[in-house]
Amino acid sequence: MMQHMGEDYDNQVIYHMLKHYGNLLDVQRSRFCAHTLPLLRRYIASSDYILDEYEKGLLSEIEGMGLKYDAVLNSLRQAQLKRFRDCSTEDSTHYAKEIEKIVKSGITTKDEEGVFSESINTQDDLVNEIIKNPREVDVTKINKKTVDAVQGILISSFEKFSLWCFQLQMGFKFQKQDFHSIVFDVCQKVIDGEIDRLIVTIPPRHSKTQILSIFLPLYSFCHNPGSQNIITSYADDVVQESSGYIRAIMTDPMFMKIFPKVRINPDKRSLERWGTTRQGTLHAVPTGGKLTGKGAGSLSPVYSGCFVVDDVIKPKDAYSGTVRSEINDRFDNTFMSRLANDGVIQDEEGNLIKCPRTPMCIIMQRVHDEDLVGYLLRGNSSDKYHYLNIPALVDKDTGSTEWYDRLIRKQGYTHAIPVIYDLKRDEESALWASRKSYETLKEMQAKTPYTYNSQYAGDPSAKGNGLINEEWFVEYDEIDLKTIVKTFITADTASTKESYSDYSVLIYWGVTKERMLVMLDAMVGKWEISPLKKEIEKFWKKHNTLNIRYPNLLPRALYMENKASGLYINQQFMKDASIRCIPVNRDRSGGDKVARFLNTVPYFAQGRIWFPRNHEHINHIRREITSFTSLGSGTGNDDVCDNVSDAVTIEFSGSSANYQNWVDD
């Protein structure tokens, strides 16, 4: 259901429809209009008031001109109204032009032997031919009426526009697959103002650059020749090539005929920065390039451009925490500052008009759990993003609410708005079999799961073999505190709050009568040493309060790694005697991180380590544990895993169930 804009707005729509005889292209271009052409069509179709008043007003003018019984005019009027009511994407501009011509002439028309109907059909045939086979049509034979009709169709549909432009660009038709329509549709919503923060993850070589880095900025110029656009990628040649393709399409004779107002400014010729004769711009800049003085969008009540980020990090750099941090920081501090934020402007009468936010569109093949997509979807930026993920292997469940829920829960995404879709695949199949066959994808999934899961499924996993199966991760809703026989706290601390640093993690553990190890509470965050010390004291005091009913909940001690910040804090607590603190000398007794964590595997496999399902940090904890591999951390952080390793050592150190014994059994 579309939002009602108010009676004044509806009356403006009616007035301009009557003024232009139903030519919605002209109505949409009027200053009052807050809708793109597709949304305007939907708005009109949803309003009986607008349609009824337009029909009454048009009939009144027709009768006033003495044309009440003009058969041709009435036929045109009825056909036009049917398209309005059906919200047809077929252009009706030529209906409006013919109605206007007859009404203004005041002369009754005669359709002798169907001549008029034949001319309309001929017009429709030419329009359809230009849309379907633009290379086959003689540009010199296209008149203004046909131009308006074709332009109306292309402007009203991003998908039709893209398929048409591809033929101009490449000389042959686009091999459209079912999933392409999903991508086209979400881009249409960006242009229509329904989405302003978008993430699209699809496999490599599946047209993501073609659609979003080439056709979307080009569509922006056709919607608004003065739009301001930026495209960026880690690869300089990608943005330069995209920029070159856009220019090539714009200089094609057919494009210039259909979109006469969209022209390249001859004074701006650089592929990196060029513009239109209507002051529009396109900046094609590599990820690390200068963006000073460049902007996307403008303070305007209508769509005014977009920022497209296309594969922001090289796959080979994905495992560099430093590079990932630099890119994420650049996104926050540089890319986002280039957007024209939402604000208000005054119209000619002094009324305040709210401006929409400039869209930020990110398209990627995933390369790491904490790449830019992971960074944003876990809430490291304040915005929530519409999230479209299309994997290389799909089945009947792919794209459903339940499918997204599993993915979002597993990855710990807190700022994802899933874009639901249904490809209607009854059995598992390759997304685009002519690109990657089903057999090739299944082999990749089995032999190189890291590459498949990250780049082809949009569900990054750690490189190496995961040590903890997801089904071993036991979650509970409530715990009977009478079953707890003892508690203790483990801690793994860092000394900085920088985005690239480790987390400081404290976990409050309980041990049941059956010797189940139960996480009761946890503290996760990033602090400098002084605030960290205060947070630890607060966490300790929270749980070191005697509960008469459950005295066993008093923690026996705080076990903390005895190095770096932990060494200093241990010394302070022992000096103050404020916390029962026991230093953990891991390097002397525990071996390396992987070796120590391996000893937790038997207890996970036996279902003896439990976690609270509704804890505020459960997503972070689950993701870190299930992503830990034989090569180490899969998320870039291992602080939770260190806590679990310590807890298992503390509680089960006398047990024979270590990893090697478990494997040998």
Q: Which two tokens stand for residue 514?
A: 């059956």
For position 572, what pLDDT does the model report?
Answer: 75
**Centroid of chain to Cα 224:** 23
CB neighbours of 387 closer than 8 A, spacing ≥ 6?
Answer: 199, 201, 377, 404, 413, 416, 417, 418, 419
Comparing CA positions, the residue from 632, 609, 631 lying closest to residue 622 is 609
Identify the CA nearest to 579 among candidates 547, 529, 524, 539.
Answer: 539
Please state, in angstroms and rounded to a whole number, the distance separating the CA atoms of residues 363 and 212: 8
Q: Residue ranges of the domains in the chain?
A: 7-156, 158-372, 470-664
Cα 193 from Cα 186, distance rounded (Å): 11
pLDDT at position 642: 93
Q: What is the CA radius of gyration of the chain?
A: 32
Topology (CATH level 3) of domain 470-664: Nucleotidyltransferase; domain 5 (3.30.420)
Q: Give the CB-side neighbour count of residue 280, counting CA atoms within 13 A.
A: 25
Burial class of residue 301 in the structure, from the number of CB atoms within 10 Å of its CB (0-12 exposed, 13-18 middle, 19+ buried)? middle
The DSSP annotation for 155-191 comes to HH-HHHHHHHHHHHHHSS-----HHHHHHHHHHHHHH
State which CATH number among 3.30.70, 1.10.150, 3.40.50, 1.10.490 fits the domain covering 158-372.
Answer: 3.40.50
142 Cβ partners below 8 Å, 6+ apart? 126, 130, 150, 257, 258
Please give the pLDDT value at position 109: 62
Q: Order across the sheet with 504-512: list the strands.
A: 474-476, 609-612, 517-525, 504-512, 484-492, 555-561, 581-584
List of the chain residues with pLDDT < 50: 112-113, 115-116, 118, 587-591, 655-657, 659-660, 662-665
Q: Where are the alpha helices (DSSP H) in 173-285?
A: 178-191, 208, 216-223, 236-250, 253-258
Residue 436, number of CB atoms within 10 A of its CB: 19
Alpha-carbon gap, residue 290 to 356, rounded angstroms: 26
Question: Kind of pairing, strands 474-476 and 416-418?
Answer: unpaired
CA distance 538 to 536: 5
Contact 304, 298 (CB under 8 A): yes
* Residue 216 token pair: 């979307």
Name the strand (E) or helix (H) holding 25: helix 24-29
- 3-state SS assignment for residue 286: strand
Tell me, what's the pLDDT at 564?
62
Give pLDDT, residue 65.
82
**Euclidean distance between the first and the last CA atom of the chain, given in angstroms as a whole number:** 62
Helix 216-223 and helix 158-170, axial crossing angle in degrees, nearest 10: 110
Contact (Cβ atoms closer than 8 angstroms) between residue 21 and residue 148? no
Please answer whether residues 356 and 343 qualify as being in contact, where contact means their C-beta atoms are separated by less than 8 angstroms: no
Distances (CA, A) of 562 to 264, 491, 582: 65, 10, 9
pLDDT of residue 480: 95
Instruction: Please give the pLDDT value at position 347.
Output: 72
pLDDT number for residue 663: 44
